[in-house]
Amino acid sequence: MMTMQEQGELCFPLLANTSCRRTQRDPSTVALSSILLSAISLITVTLNLLVIISISHFKQLHTPTNLLLLSLATSDFLVGFLLVFQIFLLDGCWLFGDLICNVYYILNYVITSASIGSMVLISVDRYIAICDSLHYPIKVTLIRVQICLFLCWSASIIFHCFSFLDSLKQPGKFNTCVGECVLVVTYAVGMTDLFISFIGPITVIVVLYMKVFVVAVSQVRAMRSRVGMVTLRDTTIKSSELKAARTLGVVVVVFIVCIMPYFSIAISGQDVLLNVSSSAAIICLVFFNSCLNPLIYAIFYPWFRKAIKLIVTLQILQSDSSQMNIM
């Protein structure tokens, strides 16, 4: 007869022969982890919701660049909700069924790839705006940006659903016990995803941002060499371009640092078995990046700080609030 203590170690005590065992952790550590994850989830969801409301509500913010930021904020918002599952997984037990397990992991891949795609589009947008400013209004329009974002999200969903089609057809195929949540990432799928969703996009982002930075620096140097011939307006434009280059550099570095471990599993050279305990830290790091993005907006974008004030004070409920000047 199994004792009550032994039953307590099982994820599903009624399934004594097939249930997984709970991971033994220090209660204080579990409590601290739960509080930390809950805080990150709440902050991530709240801040990105503010970004979504701001850009969606105020007509003045309906620009191609802000539409790209809206896409990034949407993916970060969804990431905040996925973080809730990590709170329930601190004891190593998955309680939501095999199908939801696979959907959970695949959503992580889809949202991450869509975020990277949005970052690529943002880098292209900034490159054209700074390096080819005369043709920017012609090349970058709302319709073109909407089409690009639709293709970005659609491609991410189709690719990852196709990559893990077997797992979706047979949920729990690779589980060794009830309460386990695993998803097998084969070497072929991992390497393909590594190049399509990481190496390729990150290369494009870094190259474009480097060109933006070089152009901004060269323009500032040219401005300084014409002492006495430069107007105040010229100084403002050149300084803003250099500041934009530095800001984008910060965003890119933070993004790469947070996202790098997520794709490093594909470089192991063998099939990788993801489970709750081994992937928690990697996934949480990605989640933390989603929390940082709106904080960066708040630091560098005055319109976002003003929009937050209008939202928090409920001034957006006024009939003509969407027409307010917040730039």
What are the domain boundaries of the chain?
35-323
**Per-residue pLDDT for 182 more than 50?**
yes
* Segment holding 272, helix H or strand E: strand 272-274
**Per-residue pLDDT for 268 more than 70?**
no
CA–CA dist 58, 192 (Å, integer): 40
**Cβ partners under 8 Å of residue 246, min gap 6:** 213
**Per-residue pLDDT for 49 more than 90?**
yes
**7-19 mean pLDDT:** 72
Task: Give the pTM.
Answer: 0.82
| Through-space distance between the first and last CA atoms of the chain, rounded to whole angstroms | 71
**220-238 mean pLDDT:** 52
pLDDT in tens, 144-172: 999 999 999 999 999 988 888 888 888 87
Q: What is the DSSP string of 109-173?
A: HHHHHHHHHHHHHHHHHHHHHHHSGGGHHHH--HHHHHHHHHHHHHHHHHHHHHHTHHHHHSTTT
The second-level CATH assignment, the architecture, of 35-323 is Up-down Bundle (1.20)
For the chain, percent of residues with pLDDT exceeding 70:
81
**Residue 298 burial (CB count, 10 A):** 15
**Residue 14 burial (CB count, 10 A):** 8
What pLDDT does residue 4 have? 40
pLDDT in tens, 65-81: 889 989 999 998 998 88
CA–CA dist 165, 160 (Å, integer): 8
